[in-house]
Structure 1
């Protein structure tokens, strides 16, 4: 990540590689990458930045290691807290709980975190990143990238579920002056094979 314009701060959020929870639509626990996630990381294009931050969960630290990146663990980049739902599938939930969670961004799973709380946490992380004044690469989770997109676009929290962040996708934000711009969100990883 080189900066052609020193007035622009660049932030890239890389979603961790594939896990079995993603494949089975299960609320994640602290789990490793699956074989697909490891394979895709091995095929990924190199990426770096002066400042690298890594979510503390195993799936994020394994992604960073597989991508050849080392950096500081950052608890603020922890995945959305699913509380008592960790390890369950959506079919395991009462339909009214699932509907509330998917439609009300203030709804909290039991002992968990709401989308609004997550967005507030990510907003704080973005403020701290801007204050650090270094281009930053973060290995994190789809929920963190979704929250960052909402913040950059000043979009309402109810739009959270309308953003698709696949494994190993890169969400790029630029910050200039007092605002963020969504530069891109896409699938840089892995590189295509012949």
Structure 2
């Protein structure tokens, strides 16, 4: 027998994250999400803020059983990875992107509480170690170190724009940028 939910056909915490993703182009406040939920479900009385927090990677969310397993947000194979969907910035929840927001981990502290913290990159750890040295010690190491930065290859993707779309948008905008109102390139 399929599980029944009070609001729709899936858990409300999933619905709240989907509303941020789909209804508000990836960024929304709890009040905005709450308004959508009340339109969809006139009998809605759940706590929207908490349903967003449970999905936010940078919030302490160890109060929920499914967030009481040690994991990193970059581990897509973890059975609870589905809860790592949002990032909270002030009172705005946005779609989580590890490249933009960093990697976080849920861990059990020595007192038994489940907490969340950002994961430091190897470079950040190396800077901390170097910062603990005196200026004289750093200069000694630099005297024998290669000071030319290492070159790395970075691959990225871009979009090949359709000239018909560009021409139509330019015509609709009267040849002006809609943001700054200058002539469009």
TM-score scaled by length of structure 2: 0.29
Return the structure number with greater relative CO, CA threshold 8 A, min gap 6. 1
Higher Cα radius of gyration: 2
